[in-house]
Structure 1
Amino acid sequence: MRILIIEDEVILASSICDLLEDAGYDAEAVHNGAEGLEMARSQIYDLLILDVMLPGLSGIEVSTRLRAEKIGTPILMLTARSEISDKVEGLNAGADYYLTKPFESAELLACINALLRRQKDRVNEMVFGDLSLDLTAVSLACGGKSLRLSSKEFDVMRLLMQTGSSNIPKSRILDCVWGYDSDAIENNVEVYIAFLRKKLKSLESKVSIVSVRSVGYHLECGE
């Protein structure tokens, strides 16, 4: 499970990252609203932890924009303000739960687990053409055949399934799957695209990963 923390208090964000990684989650943090919004738009995260008071775009603005774009990633909103009106504003902006600072680690983990369970009950499969991606089993299936994916294969395939027939740039795949601070290069993307193409062929799927020079990749479903 991947969690994005959008929190401008660097020490707090780092502490939350450590807590989540100790609990078995894959966590990363950014410290301003604009960067957080851009990363959240990738839809590779299973949960967003979003502070209300952020430089640039506020947490309220980030949440509002994501929901306006029909991005349903669960949002746990954090704030130092405890007034009911503040909580109402956050929930109306699209947050799924509201946690007031300071909070206990156990309380944060309980909220995260509850939101992820709720999300898992709603969505556990993505479909494109004759192909289905099982988000729980981390597997790709077509007809009666199914193949397990590696972590990176799964993340790349999920991005492709999310964008479907729309092109996604190689650079965006690199940033979303390997991270903005990674030393990985675009050749890494090409390698995993090749792995996935072999798996699609093995599954005898009519779906193909199409490369458009200087533009990116997208999925197509043949006859």
Structure 2
Amino acid sequence: MRILLAEDEKQLSRVIVAALNSRNYDVVPVYNGQEAVKKASQGVYDLMIFDIMMPVMTGVEALKKIRASGDQTYVIMLTAMAEVDDKVTGLDAGADDYITKPFSLKELLARIRSLERRTENYGNGVLNFGDITLDSNEQRLESFNSISLSAKETKLLNLFILNANKKIISEILIDHVWENDDDIDQDTLWIYISYLRQKLQAVNAHVGIEGEKGGPYQLVNTSKEGRT
């Protein structure tokens, strides 16, 4: 699991990074909201952990920008503010979970393990982008009509939707969808990209996958409204 951590208290950041690294999580630390937005736009993450009170740009402001870009990656907010209104603000900005400081590292790790189990067992449920809906549990793509997807097609489109509008290199797609299968190469990925393109056309979606063989690939909204 690759995690983007935005925490301006560097000592706390180091402690969290060490704890996550010890569980074999790959962590990218940043120290303000602006850096978080930049890193989020440049890479693919399975989880983002944002402190709310950060310099340059708050965690809430950063999250709003990230969500506005189309990124639907799971986000846990960290804050020293325990008031209900502050939690509501974070959730309304697009946060998926909330931990109030001071918190136990055991609690944070437990939340991450829970996310891993849910993603592994059920995917990300129902995701939307443009005029398409992906039901990961049913392995079904819907737009003006619907079509069934294979398990790999579902995982691949799931990753694209979570990171919509990002250019994603082939290696990341292969690693996330096929994990430790060393037999998967660029040719196999290209075949699945072609399958998804055909199925997006089959449901008359105004959503497409851009990119030539070898990547990078990008899920985009092809409607006039989406292009503006």
Q: Deviations over 1:7-54 (max 9, x none)?
A: 111111111111011112111211111111122234511111100011
Q: Is the 8 A contact 1:5 1:28 kept in 2?
A: yes
Question: Normalised by the size of structure 2, how large is the TM-score?
Answer: 0.59
Supply the distance in 2 between the matched residues of 1:201 and 1:69 (Cα, whole angstroms). 26
SS at 2:212's partner residue? strand
Pairing 1:31–2:20 present: no
1:85 equivalent in alignment to 2:89:
no
Name the counterpart of 1:97.
97
Residue 212 (structure 2) aligned to one of 210, 213, 217? 210
RMSD: 4.0
Mapped contact 1:7–1:31 kept (Cα < 8 A): yes
SS of 1:98's partner is strand
Matched, 1:65 2:65: yes
Residue identity in the other structure for 2:186? R
- For 2:64 and 2:25, the matched residues in 1 are separated by 26
1:23–1:89 distance in 2 versus 1, CA, 3 Å: same
Matching residue's letter, 2:212:
V
What CA deviation, in whole Å up to 9, does each residue of 1:148-177 have, x standing for no partner? xxxxxxxxxx67x956xx794xxx85xx97
Q: 1:90-113 CA distances to partner (integer Å, 9 max, x unpaired)?
A: 111111111111111111111222
The alpha carbon displacement at 1:55 in A equals 1.4
Of all paired residues, the percent bearing the same amino acid is 37
Size of the aligned set, in residue pairs, is: 173
Query: Which amino acid is the alignment partner of residue 123 of structure 2?
Result: R
1:187-214 alpha-carbon deviations (Å, 9 max, x no partner): xxxxxxxx943445798x67896279xx
Select 1:197's aligned residue among 176, 182, 186.
Answer: 186
User: Taking structure 1 as reference, are residues 209 and 198 closer, same or farther at Cα in structure 2, changes over 3 Å only?
Assistant: farther
d(CA) in 2 for partners of 1:116, 1:66: 22
SS in 2 for 1:41: helix
For the residues of structure 2 that align with 1:167 and 1:88, how far apart are their CA atoms?
Answer: 28
Q: Is the 8 A contact 1:197 1:209 kept in 2?
A: no
The answer to whether the Cα contact below 8 Å between 1:64 and 1:94 also exists between their aligned partners in 2 is: yes
Q: CA deviation at 1:57?
A: 1.3
Task: Kindly report structure 1 stretches of 4+ aligned residues shifted beyond 6 Å.
Answer: 124-127, 205-208
TM-score of the superposition, structure 1-length normalised?
0.60
Deviations 1:68-87 (A, max 9, x none): 33321111100111111111
Q: What stretches of structure 2 of length at least 5 have no aligned partner?
A: 126-135, 141-148, 173-183, 198-209, 219-228
Residue 48 of structure 1: aligned partner: 48
Output the amino acid matched with 2:79.
T
Unaligned runs of 5+ in 1: 141-157, 178-194
Structure 1 pair 72/217, CA: closer, same or farther in 2 (3 Å)?
closer
